[in-house]
Structure formats: structure tokens, C-alpha cells
Structure 1
Amino acid sequence: MSDQNKSLCDEKHFNDFYLKQVQSATNFAFYKCGDKDNALDLVQDAFTKIWEHCATIDFDKVKTYLLTTVNNLFLNTIKHHKVVMAYAKETPNHDITNQNPEYLLEEEEFKIKLQNAIASLSDAQREVFLMNRIDGKKYREIAELLDISQKAVEKRMSAALKIIKEQIENI
């Protein structure tokens, strides 16, 4: 059967593709992140995305799609870690033994909701949000760096703030 007639939505074809590509994709992910467990997680997430979008992916380009997806998932992980590290760096070291346990629990829940909210942003929104809020760049600087208009930066930032507000509003 030629590749033209193959469909990733056919479970047999997807399984064949998975078995042929899982090792090379895992190696690629391992070279990126240097951690075997994280590499496996990235690859499994990438294959899940391929399965979810099987109808829209050209079978001839699926290997490229797989590696691109693994790379993008890795970059999203790095961005997430940067946010976590920046937050930890800005948070003053304080004696938590004197803190109310209920307050500490609420604070931890807030951190998790905030991290999840930032992770749920589109790549474009997350990029603008982090450049502004973490790197302290002005909208004009972001626009120049991303080669987009300042209005586009403002729109992305507005959408990002709206999503974050909706997701953490209950705290």
C-alpha cells in the first residue's frame, strides 16, 4: 500500500508508525532534555497529539510533525520552568514555620493554578506574557523582537490576562 493511501486514523497504520518512530523520537527528546523519563513523557505527549489530529496530518509529513511536536513540547517545558524559577527567585525567603497551615495550602493552590493558567495560554500569548511580566520588557520592545505590531502585542497580552484571570479568579 502506498503512503498516499495510508491514514494515521487507521489504528494499524498508527501502530506501525509508532513502532517505527518511537525509538528515534525518544532519542531526539533525550538529546533535547537529557532526562530519559522526561524524554519518554514528551514522546508520549507528541504521539497523543498526533492521534488526536490524525485526520489533519499528511502521512508523508508525519515524522516531521512528530519531531516538531516533541521540540515544541520541550520548549514549552523550558518556558514553564523559567516561570517557576523566576517566581521562586522573586519570592523572599521567609520562615514558613510561623505561617498558618491553611494560608500555606491556599498559597500552594494558587501557585499551581497560576502555573496551569500560564501553561494553558497559546504559545504567542505565553511568549508575550512572559516577556512582559518576567523579563520586564515593554510592549514596544516585544513588538520589535517578535517582528509584530505593538497592537498585536497588546491584543495577545489582553487575551492572556483575561484567560489567567478567569482560571485563578476563584482564589
Structure 2
Amino acid sequence: MPAIQSYDEQELLLRMRQGDESAFTHIYSLHWELLYAIAYNRTKDIHLSQDIVQDVFTSLWSNRNRAEVHSLKSYLATAVKYMTLTHLRKSGQTILVEGHIGSEEAGHKTVEEQIDYKNLLSFLNDETDKLPDKCRLIFKYSRGEGLSVKEIASELNISPRTVETQLSKALRVLRKSLKVMFSWVF
């Protein structure tokens, strides 16, 4: 059996999914410093940063059979970002900035909230674009343009029931995608 260091990322993930603690330990040793640096850069707190990294790796191990990981480094960095936000929100610590980034909302928003909002919109747009053509069009008419079921039915010359069915389908698919995306955070 080859040494654990000779495995590539996907092999390490596979072995970890199979319960191989040495693969998990190797993943931890490869990435903990970067993750700690990301957490510390946001929190400026040594102990909180250590806790965040520990929580991310605990979550990774606990969800090893459910997590869909394509790039381990990106997955873990994103997990640290969200875990950091969760910890900061729970403790009431946030960094406020005045104004807004690319939105018409007034008031104070944290940089993290603004970035999260933009990332969430981008994710939802990508997922919406994957919907079947008719389903996507109906969803965009409804949510993007604010048309009612009757207006959409009239516009597309289809029954209101078809519009409702397609909207339900779109929402079900998008909810499922969001659930998968955020399953490891909580």
C-alpha cells in the first residue's frame, strides 16, 4: 500500500469517506495553516480562529459521506469563511462598512454580508440557468419580473396550473441545491 503522502486529493477524499482516519489527518496537516490564516485574518483572535478551524474539520469528518467536494482547498476555505461568519454573528461581532456594494439597499452592511449576498445571487442565477427552458422562463417571469401566475399564463399561452407546476418545480430544485450547498455549515 503506498504511503498516504503519495495520494492525490481525490484519493484522500475517497479514503476519508471510507473512514480512513490517516487520510483525514493528512488532509488536516495539509490545510490547517491556510485555514487558520483565513480565520485569523477575519477575526484577529487566535483562540477563535483555532476553534473555527477545529469546527470546520469536525464538520468535514462528520459529513464526510454527504459533502460534495470538487476542490478540497476551495471547499475548506469557503467552510472557514462561513464558519467564521457564524461564530461572529453568534458573538455579535461584525465589521461594519458604510454604503453598499452593487445594491440599492441603504444602511450599514458588513462586508461579509455583502459578499455573501453577491455569492448567493450568483449561485442562484447559475442554478436557475440549469433549469429546463420553460421552467426557467416561468421562474424568471415570476421572481425576476414579478408577474402573477395569470399574467405568465397569458403571456406564454399556457394554463395557470402549468405555471404553478413549473414554479413549484423550480423552487423545489433551487431549495435542494441550496440545501446541498449549506448542509455542511450547520
Please state which band the TM-score falls in when normalised by the shorter chain. Answer: 0.3 to 0.5
The structure with higher relative contact order (CA 8 Å, sep 6+) is 1
Q: TM-score, normalised by structure 2?
A: 0.41
Q: Which has the higher helix share?
A: 1
* TM-score (normalised: structure 1): 0.44
